[in-house]
Homo-oligomer: A and B are copies of this chain.
Amino acid sequence: MSRHTRQAQFARALIELRSLVVDGSIPAGTRLTETAMAERLQLSRTPLRQAMDRLVDEGLLERIETGGCRVARFTMADILDAIEIRGVLEGTAARLAAERGISAERSAQMGDILAGLDTAVDPARFDFESYVRLNDDFHRLLPELSGSEIVAREVARASRLPAASPGAFMQGQELIPDFRTSLTRAQHQHRCIFEAILAREGTRAEALAREHARLARMNLEYITTQRPNLADRVPGLALVTE
């Protein structure tokens, strides 16, 4: 395997190890030995160690005092808290965007995304794929509207917490019928958040963005109570023990 891109082995280690952890291939609590994992992923310990450090930072692994690390365990409360934090930070980004104002260019970008989402949730030409992609775009652009690198980075970081990302519950076609009305509601919230930002209503923008994140909480509760067999479709949910 040659080095076509910068840090190819490290990138591969990070992606593959993260996959193994979030999809439950390696059960929560398992101790990871560097040598065995390096063997399994066909690379040396150096980039693997780097990847493990990173995953510890992301919260997917936890370090053992004596050395090495193990797959982290989460409670449902942890997931809810992670969603709460993402909501709080997205809310802050929305509030700052409203308070400081946004550029015409970004406003136009956001307008396009929202128009696309309107189409995607239109019952006549409902398009789940598009929705997922555009929803992602929305949540990637929103932090940038704050105009702050620092804020954007922290929102992105919070979105990496297990099962806290805006698209975490958008896997699996099986759930489309269940979520269809939820998506319409979500899109309405998208529009309201953007309007509040344009109207310079900081407090309202913040509250709306927080409430929007609660949709993820509702989806989580819906899945675990109504469709428990689909729970392992949500990345990170495999790590939940109680």
Smallest distance from the beta carbon of A92 to chain B beta carbons, Å?
5
Smallest distance from the beta carbon of A77 to chain B beta carbons, Å?
7
CB distance B89 to A149 under 8 Å? no
Please tell me if A132 contacts chain B, counting CB pairs below 8 Å.
Answer: no
CB distance A81 to B50 under 8 Å? no
Smallest distance from the beta carbon of A199 to chain B beta carbons, Å?
21
Stretch at the interface among A20-28, A153-161, A219-227, A228-236: A153-161
Other-chain residue from B50, B53, B66, B161 in contact with A150 (beta carbon distance below 8 A) = B161
Please tell me if A211 contacts chain B, counting CB pairs below 8 Å.
Answer: no
Tell me the number of copies of this protein. 2
Q: Which residue of B lies closest to A50 (CB)?
A: B53
Please tell me if A177 contacts chain B, counting CB pairs below 8 Å.
Answer: no
Please tell me if A67 contacts chain B, counting CB pairs below 8 Å.
Answer: yes
Please tell me if A120 contacts chain B, counting CB pairs below 8 Å.
Answer: no
Please tell me if A82 contacts chain B, counting CB pairs below 8 Å.
Answer: yes
Please tell me if A101 contacts chain B, counting CB pairs below 8 Å.
Answer: no
Other-chain residue from B53, B92, B150, B158 in contact with A154 (beta carbon distance below 8 A) = B158
Please tell me if A116 contacts chain B, counting CB pairs below 8 Å.
Answer: no
CB neighbours of A67 from chain B (8 A):
6
With A59-B153, A78-B149, A81-B148 given, name 16 new contacts (CB 8 A): A6-B65, A46-B46, A50-B53, A57-B57, A81-B96, A81-B151, A84-B96, A85-B89, A85-B92, A85-B151, A85-B154, A88-B88, A88-B89, A88-B92, A150-B161, A154-B158
